[in-house]
Copies of this chain bind each other. A is one copy, B any other.
Amino acid sequence: MTDAINLAEKLSTFDERWSPRTVSLFNGHDVMVVKVEGEFTWHSHPDTDDFFLVLKGEIDIELRDRTITLKAGEIYVIPKGVEHRPVARQEAHLLLIEPTGTPNTGDPETAVARKVI
């Protein structure tokens, strides 16, 4: 078993945007931290909900019919199958939880490789 996992410390070890790092496992899911900035691609996950917690900064989660603004200390769960596009006007830090193996773009072809730190 590991020690306590300090999220800010894990985030300080990398600078890449949109490249989640797995920091722990939970019931078949990867618990990840990620730095985001700019616009991601529109995508959906047919088989899983998508858990977002903003740790620092602010993001918009664009849905096809509206936009959810998420600030630090706020969470949002995108139901499976719902198209969304995360957008960060400035650097923001997130905690994400997804089943291990879920492609971050919803598509294995364009997904970044899983990275564990």
User: Which A residues contact B (CB, under 8 angstroms)?
Assistant: 1-8, 23-27, 29, 31, 48-49, 51, 53, 55, 63, 68-71, 73-77, 79, 82, 95, 97, 99
Let me know if A27 and B49 touch, CB within 8 A. Answer: yes
The CA-CA distance from A49 to B99 in the complex, in Å, is 14
Copies per complex of this chain: 2
Let me know if A5 and B48 touch, CB within 8 A. Answer: no
Let me know if A6 and B99 touch, CB within 8 A. Answer: no
Question: Given the complex, which residues of B lie within 8 Å of A95, measured CB to CB?
Answer: 53, 75
Let me know if B25 and A77 touch, CB within 8 A. Answer: yes
The CA-CA distance from A53 to B96 in the complex, in Å, is 13
Let me know if B77 and A4 touch, CB within 8 A. Answer: no
